[in-house]
Amino acid sequence: MIFAYGITQQGTYHVKKDIVCQDAHHFMKCEDNMIVGAVADGLGSEQYSDIASKLAAQISVQYCADHIKPDTADESILEILCDSFLLAQKSIEVEAEKQGHEIDQYDTTLSLAVLKNGNLYYGHAGDSGIVAYAEDGRYQAVTEQQRDDMGRVFPLYFGIEKWVFGKFSKKVASVFLATDGILELLFPIYLRNEEEKLYVALAQYFMNKDVLKVEQQTEEDVQAHMAAFLQSITDDQVNDDKTVLVMLDTTVEVTRMPDAYYAEPDWAILISKYKEAWRREAYPDLYGDEANAKPATAEHEKQEGISAQGEQSTEPKAHNHNEARRTSVAACSCVDKDS
């Protein structure tokens, strides 16, 4: 059975500044065992990016739904995904010309997924992203955020040389697509130097069929619950537009990892390790000779709380399945692909 929910909410910063929501999502169930979905994030600096994101999500999904058949081969599916991106970008260009606007005012990201018989096919452009819950019980990043060294996004307009298409290497029980504000919650700064960089407990909250209680609740019930959770996220964690799309194939059997893999991280230890690593990088003179290391000054201690982004870091709150949770601000600029 295919089960899905999708949410787009206007960010608090956009509300305060009277800026329209520039995120969009769209999905279509095509068969009992196939669904196509996409998320898109219009670049905030561009005047008509909200129009571009809606066009990108809707047109790419519709094209894939129309052209991928039960017997379509893997190679052909990836070609269809590429064609859907081309059509989406062309449609945006036509709209810009029709309205008499410059095309660079219509920049948007686009991440698209096809979940078919437990197989995940994807296309990606920009800094939104995709996470998979695989048959081996692991949650894994499927895509990497596309930004340059200055943090500027490579949107859909950059074309086929930047677009990424592929088939995930494992069977997939669920797939998570999100624009950058919510995506980055899954990759907190305190996990950046850990072996597992993904916030598994939060991914499970979004993606696991048992946690979501999909056999007891309707899609509408789950969507309402998750919408309330997204709404509860505070400004210091995410003030950008929020978009999440989750698609599950409940027939895919999953071999669970040990319970410790899914447990809430020990944030106190992680924060301490992060601060120590930060001190060593910021003040190498204090650690060059461990035997004669100088004690940190008050000024050093004051600066410990500054994250790699130069902002005060926020300690993540405890995981709780029974109420909407607060989570840590994610500060990573790129997620690691491990497929």
* pLDDT tens string 209-240: 999 999 999 999 999 999 999 999 999 899 89
Chain-centroid distance, C-alpha 46: 21
Q: Which CATH number applies to 2-262?
A: 3.60.40.10
- What is the band of 166 on the pLDDT scale with cuts at 50, 70, 90? very high
Q: Do the beta carbons of residue 247 and residue 174 sit within 8 Å?
A: yes
Query: Is residue 223 within a helix (H) or strand (E), and if so which, with residue range?
Result: helix 219-232
- What is the band of 133 on the pLDDT scale with cuts at 50, 70, 90? very high
* Range of weakest confidence among 57-66, 196-205, 251-260, 287-296: 287-296
Q: Region 67-82: what's the mean pLDDT? A: 97
| pLDDT tops 50 at residue 322 | no
CA trace torsion 60, 61, 62, 67 (10° rounding): 90
| pLDDT tops 80 at residue 134 | yes
The per-residue pLDDT for 282 is 86
| pLDDT tops 50 at residue 319 | no
The per-residue pLDDT for 301 is 47
Q: Region 320-331: what's the mean pLDDT? A: 33
Handedness of CA 88, 75, 1, 244 (dihedral sign): negative
- What is the band of 7 on the pLDDT scale with cuts at 50, 70, 90? very high
- What is the band of 294 on the pLDDT scale with cuts at 50, 70, 90? low
- What is the band of 300 on the pLDDT scale with cuts at 50, 70, 90? very low
Pairing mode, if any, of strands 23-31 and 34-41?
A: antiparallel
Can you name the residues that pair with 134 across neighbouring β-strands?
Answer: 172
Q: Do the beta carbons of residue 137 and residue 84 sit within 8 Å?
A: no
| pLDDT tops 60 at residue 111 | yes
The per-residue pLDDT for 15 is 84
The per-residue pLDDT for 288 is 67
The per-residue pLDDT for 31 is 82
Q: Dump strand ranges (E) for the chain.
A: 2-9, 23-31, 34-41, 110-116, 119-125, 129-134, 139-141, 164-167, 172-178, 242-249
Domain residue ranges in the chain: 2-262, 267-303
Distance between CA atoms of residues 276 and 282, nearest Å: 10
Give the total residue count for the chain: 339
The per-residue pLDDT for 293 is 53
Single-letter code of the amino acid located at 161 = E
* Range of weakest confidence among 112-126, 184-198, 267-281, 297-311: 297-311
The per-residue pLDDT for 21 is 94
* Range of weakest confidence among 182-196, 274-288, 305-319: 305-319
Single-letter code of the amino acid located at 85 = F
Count of other CB atoms within 10 angstroms of residue 254: 18
- What is the band of 305 on the pLDDT scale with cuts at 50, 70, 90? very low
| H helices, E strands: number in the chain | 10, 10
| pLDDT tops 90 at residue 280 | no
Angle at 37 between CA 34 and CA 40, to 5 degrees: 170
The per-residue pLDDT for 165 is 98
Average pLDDT, whole number, for the chain? 87
> Is pLDDT larger for residue 295 or for residue 242?
242
Q: Do the beta carbons of residue 35 and residue 115 sit within 8 Å?
A: yes
- What is the band of 45 on the pLDDT scale with cuts at 50, 70, 90? confident
Strand, coil or helix: 284 = helix
Distance between CA atoms of residues 110 and 126, nearest Å: 6
